[in-house]
Every structure is written in C-alpha cells, then in structure tokens.
Amino acid sequence: MGRKKRRHLQGSDQLKREVANRKRARIIFGFIMAMVAFVIFGVSFMVLRTFFASSLYHAFIYDWIGTALLYLAALTLIAFFVYTSLVITIKNPQKVEKRQLFYFGLTGIVCFTIGVFIVPQLSSLTINSVGDMKDYAKGEMKVDDFNVVDVYTGGHSTIALITTDERELTLLINNYQIEEGTTYRFTYMERSGTILSVEEQ
C-alpha cells in the first residue's frame, strides 16, 4: 500500500508539473505572438507613412501609430524576458544551478529597468500626439516664422529634423527644399513639433 501511495503521489506531482509547464509555454507563446503582431503592424504603418501618406498630417498619424506599436513590441519583449527570468529564478522548473539563477535574475532586473524608461516615452508620445490631433481638429495649429539653423536627415531621405532659432521641428515627408540660414513660415503642431506646411519668406 505504501509503495502504491508513493507512486500515486509521484504521478500526481509529475502531472501537476506538466500542467504548469504547458501553462507557462502558452504564456510565453502569447508574448511572442503579441510581439510579432505589434512589429508587423508597426512596420506597416511606417510603410504607409513613407509611401502612401497623402498629407503631412496623415504622415503624422501613421508615424504616431507605428511608433507606439513598436514601443509596445519592445515592452512585450521585455515582459517576456522578465516573466521568463521570474519563472526560472523563483520556480526553477529546469533545476538550474544557483550561478545561472543569479544571471537570469539579473537579466530580469535589467529588462525591467529598461521597461521603466520606455513606459514614460510611450506615455509622452501618446499624450502629445492625442493633444496635437485635438488641436488640429479645432484648427489650432501654430504658425511662426523661423530661421533654419540646421537640417539633419541622417542619410534618411524621408524624414528631416530641423533646428531653428526658436525650437526643433520634424518634417515627416521631406518634400521641401529647406536650406540652412533661410527664414521659412512653418505651420506645425505645438506639442510634437511636427510640420504641416512650409512657406519660404
């Protein structure tokens, strides 16, 4: 009877471990699928911005959505690493050595720290973009004459970062010939600094 009871308990423990492992595998698979989906949709919106935006405002919308989705992809990847490190460090289903447990725990802490820095960036991007869209719907865009100090494309032909004598602006479709030392009238969104139109003065 004692031997049968031990076998029953061992079989029960093994079954519980298998169920727990399957549950963890589903969670990990969910993280990976979500990350892949965010990346695919994020890149798709970036492609829309580059090749199919009919105006600078539409480019702004596509860029915001695409960037937000890529941020979410990064956060999902971080969550995957944090979850994995927690499972290995706390549950240790694979019976990993203590030294390796330390490295897994350290990896989880580093990933969590990176995530803490990414969340405010995503929050700021969303708040500023939504605020700019509300202003645009009300027709409240900024119009100012600025002298261009620097135009930076970084080898990227579709986006230009423009430094003026007052502030920095972003041109998401680089279809204007903007020269340094020249004054232009910029129509732009105040929070994000996204340019909507350019006129030379």
- Tell me, what's the pLDDT at 17? 72
- Kindly give the parts of the chain with pLDDT less than 70: 1-13, 92-96, 156-157
CA distance 190 to 124: 14
Which phi and psi (to 5°) does residue 123 adopt?
Answer: -65, -45
Together in a domain, 133 and 57:
yes
End-to-end CA distance of the chain: 97
What is the DSSP code (8-state) at residue 52? I
Beta-carbon contacts of residue 45 (< 8 Å; ≥ 6 apart): 62, 63, 65, 66, 69
Together in a domain, 14 and 110:
yes
Together in a domain, 126 and 150:
no
What would the pLDDT profile of 123-141 be if each residue is shown by its tens digit?
Answer: 999 999 999 999 999 999 9
Together in a domain, 124 and 176:
no
- Tell me, what's the pLDDT at 153? 87
The angle formed by the CA atoms of residues 128, 131 and 136, to the nearest 5 degrees, is 125
6: which 2 tokens? 């031990």
- Tell me, what's the pLDDT at 9? 47
Together in a domain, 192 and 95:
no
Together in a domain, 115 and 146:
no
Together in a domain, 107 and 195:
no
- Tell me, what's the pLDDT at 111? 95
Domain boundary among 108, 138, 168: 138
Residue 189 belongs to domain spanning:
142-200
Q: How much is the pTM?
A: 0.86
Together in a domain, 35 and 88:
yes
- Count structural domains, the chain: 2
Radius of gyration of the chain (CA): 25
- Tell me, what's the pLDDT at 11? 57
Together in a domain, 52 and 69:
yes
Together in a domain, 130 and 168:
no
21: which 2 tokens? 């492992």
- Tell me, what's the pLDDT at 128? 96
